Amino acid sequence: MAFESIKGTRDILPEETKKWVDIEKKIREVCRRYNYKEIRVPTFERAELFSKSTGKDTDIVQKEMYTFKDKGGRNLALKPEGTPSVVRAYLEHGLSSKAPFHKLFYIERMFRQERPQKGRWREFSQFGVEALGSKSPYLDVEIILLGMDFFRQIGLSNVEVHINSIGCSRCRPNYKKHLREYLLKKLPELCDDCKRKFKTNPLRILDCKVDRPKLKDAPHIYDFLCKECKDHFDAVVSILKKQGVKIIMNHNLVRGLDYYTKTVFEYVVSSLGAQNAVGGGGRYDDLVKIMGGRDTPAAGFAIGLDRVVLAMREKDVVSNGIDFFVVTIGEETEKIGFSILQQLRNIGFSGEKDFTGRSIKAQMRSANKSGAKYVIIIGEDELRAKKVRLKNMKTGSEEDVILNEREIARRISEC
């Protein structure tokens, strides 16, 4: 029989992998500058971890988790998101006793059994950050700025920040009461999923892609915030504006997870259509306590890297190619070309050459396709003169350089 990948999964082939490696490199560089440390968590956890933290009535837990029993009879789940696992690790390893404040990031595979869509897979990758131990509005802002910095680094300049506050356990019940009264009149025209949510958590009806246009006149939670939540949110908005961040107030933004408090936000790329959110996050000040720890304010986000790659493709953002490509003409020049290739690689440059004996024209096509910044051309004339021809692929300019890897490296670096 012919085997195929499981629906909702896919292979990332070498020409695509390069983009992922470049993205992950930029993630680590941005997080280094913001002093976030990498954490790696298991692929599967106890299923109860997610039902307790994410919420037993959320779509993730109700419909999308991959669950199974192991040989010991334990109910396990492939992790559908990262925050509960990070908080579990934070508590299990006593990180709070080692330092009062921790900033962590992860790049992990996640799993959700939902209908595959454009840029949404059942096995997918997320970049997330979690900061635990501070209730400062400046932390909310730092996290949002870190995400925007990441998008700039990968060439996505069309990302919008949508923001809202969903209050806390003190002020949210009063809002839910008024929201239920409003939704009761709309209930007959809402979808079946929203009718179910009306009984369990009416806030998530505001996030429904189907019914959202019908709820434009829904009461705004901002009008029901307690003084602490209102002051916090006003401070976040004020700081963001001072940092020059253009934000969009979205009063229907609630996020789909139970643990959020106060600030919630999403990163949106409008060119992606209806499914335009590439990531989001917010505060989860109660989660550590819910999971058995001390009262610990926290905030974070998760960005879907599959959606990011799709957005880059839509914007025609091209990852940087290799530093150089060696083009040779004839057997003797190939020996020299291979030697230069390895010598330049050994001192830190990325390079390639043709290994199939093709014509110079075909080699130049490969060099162009590889995204090489420079082409090192070695023909018989160059060999006799003990030089190479160095071509700048961006400007098209060419120059002769002494046949010495240090001199070639110097010229590539200078240009």
Q: Which of 271, 290, 314 is the last residue of a domain?
A: 314
Q: How many domains are contained in the chain? A: 2
Contact of 376 with 409, CB cutoff 8 Å: no
Query: So what's the pLDDT on residue 99?
Result: 93
Provide mean pLDDT across the span 120-146.
96
Is 277 within a domain? yes
- What six digits make up the tokens of 166? 């969903």
pTM for this structure?
Answer: 0.81
Is 9 within a domain? no
Provide mean pLDDT across the span 121-129.
96
Alpha helices, DSSP H, located in 67-191: 83-92, 95-98, 137-153, 172-186
Query: So what's the pLDDT on residue 142?
Result: 96
Query: So what's the pLDDT on residue 209?
Result: 75
Query: So what's the pLDDT on residue 2?
Result: 85
Q: Rounded distance, CA 7 to CA 116, Å? A: 8
Query: 409 and 336 share a domain?
Result: yes
Query: So what's the pLDDT on residue 274?
Result: 63
- What six digits make up the tokens of 43? 């692929």
Is 83 within a domain? yes
Query: 378 and 294 share a domain?
Result: no
- pLDDT digits 0-9 by tens, 4-32: 999 999 999 988 898 899 999 999 999 99
Residue 292, by phi and psi: left (phi above 0), alpha (psi -120 to 50) or beta?
left
pLDDT at 406 exceeding the cut of 90: no
Query: 363 and 239 share a domain?
Result: no
Is residue 389 exposed (0-12), middle (13-18) or buried (19+ Cβ within 10 Å)? middle
pLDDT at 307 exceeding the cut of 70: yes
Q: Which of 232, 208, 20, 211 is nearest to 126 (CA)?
A: 20
- pLDDT digits 0-9 by tens, 352-403: 999 888 899 999 999 998 889 999 999 999 989 999 999 999 899 999 999 8
Provide mean pLDDT across the span 332-356.
90
Q: What is the mean pLDDT of the chain?
A: 91
CATH of the domain at 352: 3.40.50.800
The phi, psi pair for 395, rounded to 5°, reads -95, -20
Provide mean pLDDT across the span 77-96.
97
Question: Please, what sign has the CA dihedral across residues 44, 46, 52, 53?
Answer: negative
Q: Which of 280, 295, 314 is the last residue of a domain?
A: 314
Q: Rounded distance, CA 148 to CA 297, Å? A: 23
Query: 18 and 103 share a domain?
Result: yes
Contacts 24+ apart (CB under 8 A), 392-399: 393/367, 393/368
- pLDDT digits 0-9 by tens, 90-118: 999 999 999 999 999 999 999 999 888 77
- What six digits make up the tokens of 136? 């400062």
Query: 153 and 296 share a domain?
Result: yes
Question: Model confidence at 207, in pLDDT bands (50, 70, 90)?
Answer: confident
Query: 350 and 262 share a domain?
Result: no
Side-by-side strand order, sheet with 398-402? 351-353, 324-328, 374-378, 387-392, 398-402
> Where is average pLDDT lowest: 29-33, 46-50, 58-62, 319-323?
319-323
Is 280 within a domain? yes
CATH of the domain at 48: 3.30.930.10
- The type of residue at 300 is G
Is 183 within a domain? no
Is 199 within a domain? no
Domain assignment of residue 403, given as a range: 324-414
Query: 245 and 110 share a domain?
Result: yes
Query: 268 and 144 share a domain?
Result: yes
Helix (H) or strand (E) holding 242: helix 227-242
- The C-alpha angle 164, 168, 174, rounded to 5 degrees, equals 95
- What six digits make up the tokens of 253? 């933004």
Query: 146 and 265 share a domain?
Result: yes
- The C-alpha angle 208, 312, 148, rounded to 5 degrees, equals 70
Query: 54 and 161 share a domain?
Result: yes
Query: So what's the pLDDT on residue 14?
Result: 87
Query: 120 and 229 share a domain?
Result: yes
- What six digits make up the tokens of 63? 């419909």
Contact of 123 with 44, CB cutoff 8 Å: no
3-state secondary structure of 141: helix
Is 202 within a domain? no
Provide mean pLDDT across the span 255-284.
87
Query: So what's the pLDDT on residue 34?
Result: 95
Query: So what's the pLDDT on residue 49?
Result: 95
pLDDT at 125 exceeding the cut of 80: yes
3-state secondary structure of 309: helix
pLDDT at 319 exceeding the cut of 80: no
DSSP string for 163-215? EEE---TTTHHHHHHHHHHHHHHHGGGS-HHHHHHHHH-GGGGGG-TTTGGGG
Query: So what's the pLDDT on residue 118?
Result: 74
Q: Which of 287, 314, 341 is the last residue of a domain?
A: 314
Query: 306 and 334 share a domain?
Result: no
Is 218 within a domain? no
Q: Which of 117, 121, 140 is nearest to 80 (CA)?
A: 121
Q: At what angle do helices 14-33 and 305-314 cross, to 10 degrees?
A: 110
Helix (H) or strand (E) holding 130: strand 123-132
Q: Rounded distance, CA 259 to CA 244, Å? A: 29
